[in-house]
Structure 1
Amino acid sequence: MATGMSNVELHHGAATDVGLVREVNEDSYLAAPPVFVVADGMGGHEGGDVASAIVVEEFGRLADAGYDPRRGADVVASTLAACQDRIAEYGAAQRARGASRFHAGTTAVVALLVEDDDGPKWLLANLGDSRIYRFNDGLLEQVSVDHSVVQELVEAGAITADDAATHPERHVITRALGGPERVEADYFLFPLASVERLVLCSDGVTGMIEDDVIAAILGEVSDPRDAADRMVAAAVQAGGKDNATAVVVDVVGLMTATSYDSERQRVSLEQKLGALP
């Protein structure tokens, strides 16, 4: 837990599925309160799966070690930089061994608790087209902004949001970890009281089911574990064209230190691949 932070009671659940088309699950997630991550890897076996697992490992170290809750943005930025460096070094090493076209990259969405004089807050960050939503009073709001070609076209007025769903470049992203240069994440800050339920998910979910389906699931299912399971299952049932991952976090309230639940759910290096570089 972050050193010096108010203890916030969080209930969470997470689910992931390889889907019906891909052979390898390149998604990874971390649910280690108060740190939550979803990473959607790119590059195929030993590329995308390694890249996303590196992100989970680095943020897992952060969760284990603790962090200064008043320096949240700096903490996330430095952890993302460490991810970028490790992924880039891994890719360079593979290419040096003769895999000239080898590429390892990943998106990342991150949520962690921070604190200032006004109390605890959610700090959210994203790179790529994995998404963060907040769900309050039955209303679903996308917080993150996709770093994608189609999002840029929508913002420029060149295509509509409906056009983006079927555009041939809808899967082309403009920011990710693992490229030749470091790229900046987008950051969002929300008071704890303004978020009842938080959702992090890969585009294997949002590319298969509409936001109104996600909202219906979140509204119908009170247990975050069941909600995450239902979201991923719905994405698979809708075609399962990509790996699908969801993390759902409910803010219950402040609590005493003795009741803090540090249970971790992690798709980690040991579970997926063995030792990472």
Structure 2
Amino acid sequence: MTVPEAATQSRTVPLADGALELRWSEVTHRGRRREANQDAVLAQYPLFVVADGMGGHIGGEIASASAVERLTAVAITGEVTPKTIEKALSRAVADIASHPETTDEGTGTTVTGVYLDLSDPEPTWVTLNIGDSRVYLFRDGALAQVTTDHSVVQELISAGRLSPEEAENHPYGNVITRAVGPSDAVAPDYVRLEVVDGDRFVVCSDGLTKELTDYGILHFLLQHDDPTDAADDMLEAALENGGRDNVTIIVLNVHRTFDGAPSPAED
């Protein structure tokens, strides 16, 4: 089995009281059963995003690529805010609508990720989400899903009509309730998180979570500190477990240092 080669990238971000050392890696694969990869990925500081396209023919591929292309332009400026993200997604909607091969009613894309916000004295992470791709946070040895899926199954779980175990094989498991598409100008959900030394993020399409449980994701994070090694092993496990969908993964490590003082974790 051939797994795409990836390399860990790094960035040191100066802060008023020290610095953030970020290390990340991304990988994407069409899986074992799909003819094309309709996922797209953006891992360019300060913005890390996965987009999972949907739609007949190449509609989904165009939708995810349009969203990532417009968001890449935002990442390059460094001015990543809800306003610039939503403006970029509106432009992506127009791109998708104007393309002759995206007329299928089911065409669209998820857009899920995390960015570093330095607009206030104390830095924060902000997650963004439309659809059922996910952001996970690994902190203090535990893994938590930060984003909430926009899906029929999640709505049934939230209403108490379906258990998480029953959801795994539900016939509507692939049906999402919000997407970036040719007729949908949708604002993401946002969650703001403090910046903590030792945090790790996993941003992924549902091609990973269909094949790997949260415990499986945690296992590979605990096994590998290097983001590339962790992402590659998650991908390999997803493919070995069936690889029924495209699989895209970003692993982002956060190390915070303080000038002349121990970090809070060292107190």
Secondary structure of 1:94's aligned partner: coil
Bigger CA drift: 27-36 or 174-183?
174-183
* CA shift in 2, pair 1:127/1:101, >3 Å: closer
Q: What is the deviation of 1:101?
A: 4.1
How large is the Cα RMSD of the aligned pairs? 2.1
Q: Could you tell me the TM-score, scaled by structure 1's length?
A: 0.82
How far 1:43 moved relative to its partner?
Answer: 1.2
Displacement after TM superposition at 1:116 (Å): 4.2
1:153 maps onto 2:156 in alignment: yes
Q: Does 1:11 align with 2:23?
A: yes
Q: Which has the higher helix share?
A: 1
1:75 maps to 84
Query: 3-state SS of the aligned residue for 2:203?
Result: strand
Q: Indicate conservation of the 8 Å contact 1:9/1:253, yes or no.
A: yes
Alignment match, 1:205: 208
User: Is 1:186 aligned to 2:186, yes or no?
Assistant: no
1 or 2 for the larger relative contact order (CA 8 Å, sep ≥6)? Answer: 1
Name 1:259's counterpart in structure 2.
none
- TM-score normalised by the chain length of structure 2: 0.85
User: Which residue matches 2:52?
Assistant: 40
Shift of 1:102: 6.4
Shift of 1:255: 9.3
Corresponding residue number in structure 1 for 2:101: 94
Structure 1 residue runs of 4+, over 3 Å off? 4-8, 100-103
Structure-2 residue corresponding to 1:216 = 219
Q: Give unpaired runs (5+ residues) of structure 1.
A: 257-277
Contact 2:135 2:147 in 1 (8 A): yes
Q: Does 1:20 align with 2:27?
A: no
Are the counterparts in 2 of residues 122 and 192 from structure 1 also a CA contact under 8 Å?
A: yes
Q: Paired residue for 1:138? A: 141
CA contact (8 A) 1:5 1:120 kept: no
Question: Residue type matched to 2:187 in 1?
Answer: E
- Deviations, residues 91-120 of structure 1 (Å, cap 9, x unaligned): xx337xxxx646531101021111243411
Query: Does 2:63 correspond to 1:54?
Result: no
**Alpha carbons 2:29, 2:246 under 8 Å: kept:** yes
2:155 is paired with a residue of what secondary structure? helix
Q: CA deviation at 1:53?
A: 1.0
Query: Does the CA contact (< 8 Å) of 1:140 and 1:215 recur in 2?
Result: yes
Rounded Cα–Cα distance in structure 1 between residues aligned with 2:180 and 2:87: 13
User: Structure 1 44/233 Cα, relative in aligned 2: closer, same or farther at 3 Å?
Assistant: farther
Show the counterpart of 2:7. none
Once residues 57 and 227 of structure 2 are traced to their aligned partners in structure 1, the CA distance between those partners, rounded to angstroms, is 30
Residue identity (%): 41
Match of 1:82, SS?
helix
- The runs of 5 or more residues in structure 2 that have no matched partner are 1-12, 260-267
Aligned residue identity for 1:87: I
Question: Any conservation in 1 of the 2:197–2:256 contact (CA below 8 Å)?
Answer: no
After superposition, the Cα gap between the structure-2 partners of 1:101 and 1:198, relative to the gap in structure 1 and judged at 3 Å, is closer
- 2:35 is aligned with what amino acid? E
